[in-house]
């Protein structure tokens, strides 16, 4: 198997410490290489609300932060949280990934709280542009 290549956008670098960035890269690599599900990773799904998000294969995985972990016995699909890691794969190289940002996940119980969540259309448009630029190169 070809090794997984992981790139980090400046948005996520600005949000995490260097140590957190390195741990996230290790966990993401382990996950994408099929070597297990890190205790901090949860449900992994594509954004499919718009055609453009589908086209650039923008995806998100629920994550736990600040030392928190998902219970071991909870299956991946049921592991949800208030934070998501937004990422995309390369277009030409499916083993290349760009970690874009950590965003608040939209809470359907609070439908009026959309700003700065993954339902914020302006924020998602920025993520789409970042993903598109990455996929043009990789």
Check whether 32 has a pLDDT greater than 80.
yes
User: pLDDT by residue (tens digit) across 10-31?
Assistant: 999 999 999 999 999 999 999 9
The pLDDT score that the predictor gives to residue 125 is 93
pLDDT confidence of 3, banded at 50, 70, 90?
confident
pLDDT confidence of 53, banded at 50, 70, 90?
confident
Return the number of other C-beta atoms located less than 10 Å from residue 16's C-beta: 16
Quote the longest CA-to-CA distance of the chain: 45
Nearest to 58 by CA among 86, 81, 31: 86
User: pLDDT by residue (tens digit) across 76-130?
Assistant: 999 999 999 999 999 999 999 999 999 999 887 888 888 888 888 899 999 999 9
The pLDDT score that the predictor gives to residue 75 is 96
The pLDDT score that the predictor gives to residue 115 is 84
Helix (H) or strand (E) holding 119: none
pTM of the model: 0.92
């Amino acid at each position: 198997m070809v090794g997984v290549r992981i790139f980090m956008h400046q948005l996520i670098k600005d949000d995490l410490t260097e140590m957190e960035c390195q741990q996230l890269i290790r966990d993401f690599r382990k996950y994408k290489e099929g070597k297990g599900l890190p205790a901090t990773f949860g449900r992994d799904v594509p954004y499919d609300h718009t055609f453009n998000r589908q086209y650039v294969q923008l995806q998100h995985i629920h994550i736990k932060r600040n030392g928190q972990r998902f219970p071991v016995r909870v299956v991946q699909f049921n592991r949800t949280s208030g934070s998501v890691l937004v990422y995309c794969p390369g277009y030409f190289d499916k083993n290349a990934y760009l970690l874009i940002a950590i965003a608040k996940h939209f809470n359907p119980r609070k439908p009026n709280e959309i700003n700065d969540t993954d339902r914020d259309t302006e924020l998602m448009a920025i993520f789409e542009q970042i993903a598109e630029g990455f996929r043009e190169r990789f």
